[in-house]
């Protein structure tokens, strides 16, 4: 979701031999790894020390763990106990709280009146086991000085919407506990191959898909395609479906649009049984402004959860900004992280809108041209502290957890270890790459694509931080934008995507779609992400039901029938993506293999590099094919394992990929154990070879 306008880019500096020198005192880790951070070491240490101090405060200086602190979901909300029901809510500004619902005809009754716990902002109500039953709808009726209103409890775990009235209510939820078949799971991370998806738009039909339908119909596709992680959007309950799940109202409730909590658990359990990790988009960067459904004015104090004054509202997102400086807000959000992991067995999170959290400006209009822009006093230390502690907590709950930051400014240390002065994320999104591809496709003629520029961009990252690389995510697929396939082919997709009827525009688009994905995925240093359907060139943007389109679901779905139809060209792209993923997985320890450039020539538009035993060769020229183009590689024989120009992937099939390629002896390179690998590389194609 996060987008800001960067006027220029910061060069990601690696440690320079020329600036290394003996240092006293010993530098903190991220400064050791990047000497250009040295002038800002005091600020880096200050942020680190702030987090250390806060952890000490929250844990009673070690008398309890962070995980024990982050257990608010076990205390607040509605719980069934051996003695009956207990309900608790933090509402310091309230003067009275009643539970109203199906059980008391939505009227205030003394029996359902909560009591303030003396000396606190907490309210508590104890009821008999018969006072509530599974499925009852309810809300709080909150009174405060000067007003009152019905509210959904902040810690509600189940929220449903009435189909006729469209009104949201909390729901008593006490089914038989879900029995997990796969009780423990360790995600595969080398490389991490993420399939970003949305449950509701996962079906071919024009409707809202369900957890069960996704488990039965989409998950098998993801497994077959070779991805080892799914990233699910829009899990936390949100009033407006068209927000894509980014305007959250109930942070502890799995969206009931898609089914029950137990059905979500079954989806995750099934994925784990198949070796697929499951992470969720977690939205802690802001909250929906709604008061009845959300936290906007829970008890007459609009600042209970949010910053006061000018920092209260997000100027671009029409939402409210959490006050990360409040211990109660820290407790709420940290407990939220633990809850999703503990209750649903999520393997981690992709944190949305991190740039918005880091800066008072939310990153809007900032240029981020030099390192000083990250340490100029315009940063929210409270938010930085929260993110750092959230990462500490998540990895305390599950040491194998996955955390990813969606962050566009390039803040140093985001995905560096806490001990090194970093924020502790496992990965950061390489948000420069999709911007680069869009700019290249829009602004440059094919003849002007430079392999040196492409190679620099796909591996433009900090040396001590892992990234998730991607060509396009859901952002590029939204209404008003264009996916890569549509930028390349546009309306000809509708008229010339039947096999045998392709025109030159379609041939070009199919070829470049594969090459763009391959060069991006081949250069990763952590993981690769694809958004649902983009792998096969889904032809239309995403447009959720809204007033402007007649509340239509026509574009809020995925047309799997297109890739399944062997008479259309979509399956070429889907088949290629599957084979590409398999090739990456075939190299053991892929992330540990260095990206070693073999050759680039911008005049020829040719690029070649190695990773382990894999050789990646690209010819971006739209018109020139090369015969016996030579590269110096380790001596031996090489087999073709992937060719974008193969007929099975919609190419011309000009090369004979059954040939074993032997290197040619050159006495000049005997001591280097290298010889010449000579290849035929057709125009606008790429080939991957594996050393025997």
Q: Which residues are tagged catalytic?
A: 352, 406
Residue 356: half-sphere exposure toward Cβ, Cα within 13 Å? 24
Torsion of CA 666, 640, 533, 539, to 10 degrees: 80
Residues 553 and 658 sit within 8 Å (Cβ to Cβ): no
Helix (H) or strand (E) holding 219: helix 219-225
Closest CA to 446 of 684, 646, 618, 685: 684
Torsion of CA 584, 588, 593, 597, to 10 degrees: -40
Residue 279, class by beta-carbon neighbours within 10 Å (0-12 exposed, 13-18 middle, 19+ buried)? buried
Helix and strand numbers, DSSP H then E, in the chain: 18, 29
- Tokens encoding 430: 């390489």
Residues 480 and 540 sit within 8 Å (Cβ to Cβ): no
Q: Which residues make beta-bridge pairs with 601?
A: 606
**Dihedral sign from CA coordinates of 635, 640, 642, 644:** positive
Reply yes or no: is the peptide bond before residue 25 cis, omega within 30 of 0.
yes
Residues 200 and 234 sit within 8 Å (Cβ to Cβ): yes
The Cα 34–Cα 509 span in angstroms is 40
Residues 487 and 441 sit within 8 Å (Cβ to Cβ): yes
Closest CA to 634 of 605, 664, 659: 664
The Cα 331–Cα 69 span in angstroms is 7
């Amino acid at each position: 979701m996060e987008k800001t306008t960067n006027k220029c880019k910061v060069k990601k500096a690696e440690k320079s031999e020329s600036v290394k020198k003996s240092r006293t005192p010993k530098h903190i880790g991220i400064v050791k790894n990047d000497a250009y951070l040295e002038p800002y070491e005091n600020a880096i240490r200050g942020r680190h020390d702030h987090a250390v101090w806060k952890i000490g405060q929250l844990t009673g200086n070690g008398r309890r763990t962070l995980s024990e602190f982050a257990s608010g979901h076990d205390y607040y909300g509605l719980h069934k106990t051996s003695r009956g029901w207990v309900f608790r809510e933090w509402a310091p500004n309230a003067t009275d709280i009643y539970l109203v619902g199906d059980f008391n005809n939505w009227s205030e009754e003394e029996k359902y009146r909560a009591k303030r716990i003396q000396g606190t902002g907490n309210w508590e109500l104890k009821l008999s086991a018969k006072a509530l039953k599974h499925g009852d709808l309810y809300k709080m009726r909150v009174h405060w000085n000067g007003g009152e209103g019905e509210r959904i409890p902040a810690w509600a775990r189940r929220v449903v919407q009435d189909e006729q009235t469209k009104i949201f209510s909390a729901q008593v939820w006490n089914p038989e506990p879900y029995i997990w078949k796969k009780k423990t799971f360790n995600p595969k991370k080398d490389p991490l191959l993420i399939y970003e998806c949305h449950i509701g738009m996962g079906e071919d039909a024009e409707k809202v898909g369900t957890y069960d339908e996704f488990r039965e119909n989409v998950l098998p596709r993801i497994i077959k395609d070779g991805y080892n992680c799914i990233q699910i959007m829009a899990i936390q309950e949100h009033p407006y479906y068209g927000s894509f799940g980014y305007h959250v109202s109930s942070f502890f409730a799995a969206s009931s649009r898609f089914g029950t909590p137990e059905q979500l658990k079954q989806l995750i359990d099934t994925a784990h049984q198949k070796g697929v990790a499951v992470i969720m988009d977690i939205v802690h960067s802001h909250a929906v402004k709604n008061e009845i459904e959300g936290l906007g004015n829970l008890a007459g104090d609009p600042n209970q959860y949010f910053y006061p004054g000018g920092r209260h509202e997000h100027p671009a997102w029409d939402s409210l900004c959490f006050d990360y400086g409040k211990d109660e807000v820290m407790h709420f959000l940290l407990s939220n992280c633990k809850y999703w992991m503990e209750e649903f067995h999520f393997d981690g999170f992709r944190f949305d809108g991190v740039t918005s959290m880091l800066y008072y400006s939310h990153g809007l209009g900032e240029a981020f041209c030099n390192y000083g822009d990250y340490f100029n006093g315009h940063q929210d230390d409270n938010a930085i502290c929260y993110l750092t502690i959230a990462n500490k907590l998540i990895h305390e709950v599950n040491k194998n957890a996955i955390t990813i930051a969606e962050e566009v400014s390039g803040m140093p240390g985001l995905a560096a270890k806490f001990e090194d002065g970093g924020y502790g994320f496992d990965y950061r999104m390489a948000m420069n790459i999709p911007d680069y591809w869009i700019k290249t496709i829009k602004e440059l003629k094919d003849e002007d694509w430079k392999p040196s520029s492409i190679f620099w961009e796909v591996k433009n990252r900090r040396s001590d931080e892992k990234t998730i690389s991607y060509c396009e995510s859901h952002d590029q697929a939204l209404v008003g934008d264009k996916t890569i396939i549509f930028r390349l082919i546009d309306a000809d997709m509708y008229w010339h995507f039947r096999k045998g009827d392709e025109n030159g525009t379609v041939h070009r688009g199919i070829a470049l779609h594969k090459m763009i994905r391959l060069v991006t995925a081949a250069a990763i240093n952590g993981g690769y992400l694809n958004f649902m359907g983009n792998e096969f060139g889904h032809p239309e943007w995403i447009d959720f039901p809204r007033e402007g389109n007649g509340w239509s679901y026509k574009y809020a779905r995925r047309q799997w029938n297109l890739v399944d139809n062997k008479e259309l060209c979509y399956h070429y792209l889907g088949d290629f993506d599957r084979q590409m993923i398999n090739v990456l997985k075939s190299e053991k320890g892929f992330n540990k293999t260095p990206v070693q450039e073999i050759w680039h020539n911008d005049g020829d538009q040719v690029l070649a590099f190695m990773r382990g035993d894999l050789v990646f060769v690209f010819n971006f020229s739209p018109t020139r094919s090369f015969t016996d183009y030579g590269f110096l590689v380790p001596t031996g024989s090489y087999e073709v394992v992937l060719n974008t120009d193969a007929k099975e992937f919609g190419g011309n099939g000009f090369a004979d990929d059954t040939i074993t390629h032997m290197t040619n002896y050159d006495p000049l390179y005997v001591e280097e154990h290298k010889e010449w690998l000579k290849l035929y590389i057709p125009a606008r194609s790429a080939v991957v070879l594996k050393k025997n």
